[in-house]
Structure 1
Amino acid sequence: MKWEGNRQSDNVEDRRSGGGGAPMLGGRNIGIGTIVIALIGGWVLGVNPLTILGVISGGGMPATQQQAPAQAPPANDTMAKFVSTVLADTEDVWTQIFRQGGATYQDPRLVLFRGAIATACGTGQSAMGPFYCPGDQKVYIDLSFYDQLKNQLGAPGDFAQAYVIAHEVGHHVQNLLGISGQVDQMRGRVSKVEYNKLSVKLELQADCLAGVWAHHADSQRQILEQGDVQEAMNAAAKIGDDALQKAQTGQIVPDSFTHGSSAQRQRWFKTGLQTGSVQSCDTFSASSL
């Protein structure tokens, strides 16, 4: 991926040096990595993964922990520079797309942390992987997740790392469009199985929106190099619900899916990448996922 020398975002908060504090539990976090905790707990305890997610995030109480002032990442921190550059690229793409639609894009902030951090949605923990909090419109990431992505999940590569950020920014786009709020309102109104299906559609749409970003970023700035798309497709496959379930228990339980299968995640990222169209990402009206 060609990223060196490109614009870096000013919307990055570095809270890796004691800025996170001891977080209070709060509302729902949306993240790629949360599925690992939720699904493993669901398989072991026989509890629906979304119930575990609710416990992890504390059921809606706001976070109240005071935090130290955020700092800009060090200039010599290559990985922080990388995520800042990817974030800036998503800002440029989504600002243009929203403007073309007669709307104004509101940039999210990206927070670097270690261990645990208080958010407007509640607790954030490294074990959850990267996540987006609608309450404060921030993407949170412990950069050690990229080591897990490479070494434990078998998904190396800088574009795989960029896909992770673009997916979480996709959740921000959904929040701005009111989509995630509509899905959240269905909590408790439908069965757990039906809500899981809505969650899958939400996550697959975020994958598609990540592909939309990649389409426009490459057409405008030629960021893609040989093998980059394969890196993202491999990452999508490694974090599919079926792949994670099979790796942990050897069993696949489709009714417990919350993010989508490997094939589905690959398909929807590819759809966004090929079309560059937000309209093509309507997973909620699709006849099949």
Structure 2
Amino acid sequence: MKLRGLRGSRNIEDRRRSNGGGGAKIGGVGLLLVLAVGYFAGIDVTPLLQQGLPQDQTSAGPLTAEEERAAEFTSRVLGTTEQVWGQVFPDQLGRPYEPPVLVLFSGQTSSPCGGASGATGPFYCPADEKAYLDTEFFATLSQNLGARGDFAAAYVIAHEVAHHVQNEVGILGEVNRMRQQVSKVEANALTVRLELQADCLSGVWARNVSGLLEPGDLEEALNAARKIGDDHLQRRAGRFPQPHTFTHGTSEQRSRWFARGYELGDMNACDTFRARQL
């Protein structure tokens, strides 16, 4: 992805060398969506989060060059999402877009949606309208999950911003209300539709930054979507895929909905909640 010379976002909150801000207990809308990108797909993380994780720990020493590059990369990718959605919202919805803040942390931090660690993967917290990212996840994505390339990492950021897009248009609140009225299996199914819609919206973003793409970038994003499918991750964990536990969608679904958003570039094409088949 050609990011050199692009402006970075100013909506970055860097907690990597400071104690994380105080987070409230999980509840209400915060309980709804600790929307990890899929690293723990199919595993209910709510009990873990309700137990409370340790607060951010101050790290000694300056940031490494690699950590600085990861932060700069994140800032520039976030900047592209601000430009894209800042144009798409007026064009397709007739309204302005308010971008989220992205919190960079190292190891552990807290949020109004509860404590978090790098192991949970990136997530979006609708309670404070912030996305949270431990940039170490980029290494996990590449080395452990086999989703290599800078555009795979960019897709992760775009996916979390897509959850903010859903929050901006009221989808998150509506899904939260619906989830509270149905069984666990039905709630999981709603969350799958939410995640696949975020994948599709990530594709809309990708279409609008196509001028920045390099050969192989699109396949990097599609590969990342496949690597974090529920079925793939459950097999990696030595488990037979159990569809009723899925919370993010299969590898095939995730890559297909991303491709749909990329091919059509229309937010309306991402209505997974009216789709008869996912």
Secondary structure of the 1:186 match is helix
Distance 2:19 2:267 in 1: 36
Task: Output one character per residue of 1:231-268: Cα deviation in whole Å (capped at 9) or x when no partner.
Answer: 00110011000000111124010111100000000000
Q: What is the correspondence of 1:150-189 to structure 2 with a 5 Å cutoff?
A: 150-189=142-181
Q: What TM-score does the superposition give when structure 2 sets the normalisation length?
A: 0.89
1:124/1:112 CA distance change after superposition, 3 Å:
same
Q: Who is 2:264 aligned against?
A: 275
SS at match of 1:30: coil
Which residue does 2:36 correspond to in 1?
31
Tell whether the 8 Å contact from 1:23 to 1:124 is kept in structure 2 after alignment. no
| 1:57 Cα deviation from its structure 2 partner | 3.3
Amino acid at match of 1:153: L
Q: Residue 200 of structure 1 aligns to a residue in which SS?
A: helix
**CA positional deviation for 1:22:** 7.4
Q: Distance in 2 between matches of 1:88 and 1:234?
A: 23
> Please, which of 204, 209, 223 is the counterpart of residue 212 of structure 2?
223
Q: How many Å separate the matches in 2 of 1:207 and 1:155? A: 15
**1:242 alignment partner in structure 2:** 231
Alignment correspondent of 1:4 = 4
CA drift of 1:23 comes to: 5.4
Question: Which amino acid letter does the alignment assign opposite residue 101 of structure 2?
Answer: R
Mapped to 1, the partners of 2:166 and 2:277 lie a distance apart of: 20
Counterparts of 1:34 and 1:183 in 2: how far apart (Å)?
A: 22
Shift of 1:74: 9.8
Displacement after TM superposition at 1:32 (Å) = 1.1
150-159 vs 11-20, which deviates more?
11-20
Q: TM-score, normalised by structure 1?
A: 0.86
Q: How far 1:30 sits from its partner (Å)? A: 1.2
Structure 1 residues 176 and 269: alpha-carbon distance in aligned structure 2, compared to 1, 3 A threshold: same
* Aligned partners of 2:57 and 2:107 also within 8 Å: no
CA displacement, residues 141-191 of structure 1 (integer Å, 9 cap, x when unaligned): 000001110110001100000000000000000001111111111233111
* SS of residue matched to 1:77: helix
CA contact (8 A) 1:20 1:117 kept: yes
| 1:28-70, Cα deviation, whole Å (9 max, x unpaired) | 311114635x62xxxxxxxxx2xxx3323339x9x9x8999xx
How many residues align structurally?
266
| Cα 1:121/1:250, change in 2 over 3 Å | closer
Identical aligned residues as a percent: 50
Tell me the distance in 1 between the aligned counterparts of 2:162 and 2:48.
22
Does 2:124 align with 1:135?
no
Of residues 242, 251, 255 in structure 2, which corresponds to 1:262? 251
Counterpart in 1 of 2:19? 19
Residue type at the aligned position of 2:186: E
Shift in CA distance, 24/116, structure 1 to aligned 2, threshold 3 Å: farther
Structure 1 contact 22–116 (Cα < 8 Å) conserved: no
Structure 2: segments with no counterpart, 5+ residues: none
> Corresponding residue for 2:194?
202
Matching residue of 1:252: 241
1:197, 1:258 within 8 Å by CA — same for their partners in 2?
yes
Give the counterpart letter for 2:219 in structure 1. Answer: Q
User: Which residue in the other structure is 1:193 paired with?
Assistant: 185
Native 8 Å contact 1:245 1:252 kept in 2: yes
- The residue correspondences of 1:51-70 to structure 2 (distance < 5 A) are 53-58=45-50
- Segments of 4+ in structure 1 off by > 3 A? 21-25, 65-68, 73-76
Q: Describe the shift of the 1:175–1:116 C-alpha distance in structure 2 as closer, same or farther (beyond 3 A).
A: same
Root-mean-square deviation over aligned CA pairs: 2.4
Checking the alignment, whether the CA contact within 8 Å between 1:35 and 1:258 is kept in structure 2 is: no
CA distance in 2, matches of 1:169, 1:34: 17
Instruction: Give the Å deviation of 1:77.
Output: 1.7
Q: Mind listing any 5+ residue stretches in structure 1 that lack a counterpart?
A: 40-48
The question of whether the paired residues in 1 share the 8 Å contact of 2:39 and 2:233 is answered with: no
Letter in 2 for 1:85: R
Q: Is the 8 A contact 2:14 2:105 kept in 1?
A: yes
